[in-house]
Amino acid sequence: MTDGRMRLTLLGGFLGSGKTTWLRHQLHADAFTGAHVIVNEAAETPIDDALLARASAIEVLAGGCACCEARTELVERLRRLCDIRSRTASGEARLKHIVLETSGLADPGAILEAIRTDPMLVHHILVSETIVCVDGLHGLAQLVGEPLSRRQVEAADRLVVTKLDEADMASLGRLVATLQTLSPAAMIEGAIKGSPVPPPSGEGEIPEPLPELQGEASAIFPTRLQLDDRIDWTAFGVWLSALLHARGDDVMRVKGVVRTPAGRLLLQSVRKVVQSPEMLPAQEGREDDTIVVIGRGYRGEDLLKSLERFAGVKEQGDLSILRRAS
Ligand SMILES: Nc1nc2c(ncn2[C@@H]2O[C@H](COP(=O)(O)OP(=O)(O)OP(=O)(O)O)[C@@H](O)[C@H]2O)c(=O)[nH]1
């Protein structure tokens, strides 16, 4: 029941937990038909929208989390959608549903509050469900060490435990038991690459003890590496593997779309787990060759210097493999 208001589905979850993969699958399965999708990315360079081409309408809110830096921008965009809706006669063309995929650093609770306390949005939008993806491989460690990941789970109506194909059953059972204690009312589902599968049972499992955490550890931030076509890809691959091997706990997420002689390639990793590169269809007017590295415990410029030193250049003496980093 939406009492005439537009529904909004909030899709959250920690960095790399599988939100885009899950949403992509839902869109292919024709769930959320006709919905307007908003993708929020912490980094300035959007990547996820390239993967969600099935959405009937998609917009990107990049360069900050919708729960903090980009909160005002989110509210403005939602107001704009409400305006458009109010001017559209009721019927098929009238927008009924918004899906908001948050960045992996967003606290869904703060977004819910922003919507519910806005005098205009509260009359036009009903948050119908908060779905939170939990990484089947890294979720337990995130719950232990990251207060944000706990807040995300606590805000959920539905939890989707992802990567069931990769995680081992014993730790999955423990993860589910921990989720049940943190968010007892939430429905728990499982997913493999976005397809729904029965979740492991948490029955009889002992939940992971969660230590009291004194606030957030140091801030997690994105660094944008803008590559140019003179980069030596083999050296880049070695640099990335070495970086993840040495600093895989600090470098939480890497993702980017690069142009290679074979076509557009999606590169991504979550902690030390690197996904096999995926070919993407050509897309006019996109600014590719950008890699976003998200993490903490290092300086963005040091990352850049290390790549410049390591990944080398094809031409001797040319150190300009990177156009820009922020
Ligand atoms: N093996 C396996 N890999 C998965 C599954 N779901 C997602 N992945 C991989 O996990 C990585 C992160 O998935 P995304 O869907 O981009 O995660 P996200 O939560 O949208 O990431 P951010 O927006 O960066 O926070 C990608 O390499 C996916 O291919 C799964 O069920 N199984």
User: What residue ranges define each of the domains in the chain, with the CATH number in brackets?
Assistant: 6-197 (3.40.50.300), 221-325 (3.30.1220.10)
> For 220-271, what is each residue's pLDDT tens digit?
988 888 777 667 778 888 888 999 998 888 999 998 888 877 788 888 899 8
| 319 has pLDDT over 80 | no
Q: How far is CA 132 from CA 13, 57, 104, 150, 210, in A?
A: 5, 22, 10, 11, 19
In this structure, are residues 57 and 37 in contact, taking their beta carbons and an 8 Å threshold?
Answer: yes
Q: How far is the CA of 20 from the centre of ligand 1 (A)?
A: 7
| 281 has pLDDT over 90 | no
pLDDT of residue 48: 67
**Within 13 Å, how many C-alpha atoms sit on residue 166's CB side?**
17
> For 71-94, what is each residue's pLDDT tens digit?
999 999 999 999 998 888 777 778
Nearest atom of ligand 1 to the alpha carbon of 164 = 31
Whether 199 is in the pocket of ligand 1, judged by its Cβ within 6 Å, is: no
User: At 154, phi and psi to the nearest 5?
Assistant: -65, -25
Give the span between the Cα atoms of 79 and 306, in whole angstroms.
44
Q: How far is the CA of 24 from the centre of ligand 1 (A)?
A: 11
pTM, whole model, 2 decimals?
0.87
Whether 183 is in the pocket of ligand 1, judged by its Cβ within 6 Å, is: no
- Please list the residues that pair with 188 across neighbouring strands: 159
Give the span between the Cα atoms of 201 and 190, in whole angstroms.
10
Q: How far is the CA of 316 from the centre of ligand 1 (A)?
A: 38
**ipTM for the assembly:** 0.99
Burial class (CB in 10 A: 0-12, 13-18, 19+), 100: buried
Whether 166 is in the pocket of ligand 1, judged by its Cβ within 6 Å, is: yes
Whether 268 is in the pocket of ligand 1, judged by its Cβ within 6 Å, is: yes
